[in-house]
Amino acid sequence: MDRLRSVIQSHRFERELRKAEPDPRRADEVVSALEFALARHPERGFAVPGTPYSIWPIYIRDRELVAYYTYDEEMVELASLLLNTEGPW
């Protein structure tokens, strides 16, 4: 297995996560799953054309949200977490 990337959260991502999932324990579970996947394979997300971002769909409280992130060989930065308004991926 390749070396794992570090995963960091922007302040915006943290605020949007608290809004989407107010229960801290459940929010930690969401982030843990997201970090597990993105630290290993961020390239499996969906590129957002014309931007440096990729997205990864996640589900919180029966709603589909998308995590916006950037990555390089060393790190993944979780930039934003927004409600998906585009439909299923």
Q: How confident is the model at residue 83 (pLDDT cuts 50, 70, 90)?
A: confident
Question: Whole-prediction pTM value?
Answer: 0.89
Task: Give a yes or no: residue 89 inside a domain.
Answer: no
CA 89 to chain centre: 15
pLDDT more than 70, % of the chain: 93
| pLDDT band, very low/low/confident/very high, at 87 (cuts 50, 70, 90) | low
Residue 72 forms part of a structural domain: yes
Number of domains in the chain: 1
State how far the Cα of 44 lies from the Cα of 63, in Å rounded to an integer.
Answer: 21
Please say if the pLDDT value at position 48 is more than 80. yes
- 3-state secondary structure at position 52: coil
Residue 2 has pLDDT above 70, yes or no: no
Q: Residues 25-39: what's their mean pLDDT?
A: 95
Domain carrying residue 20: 6-83
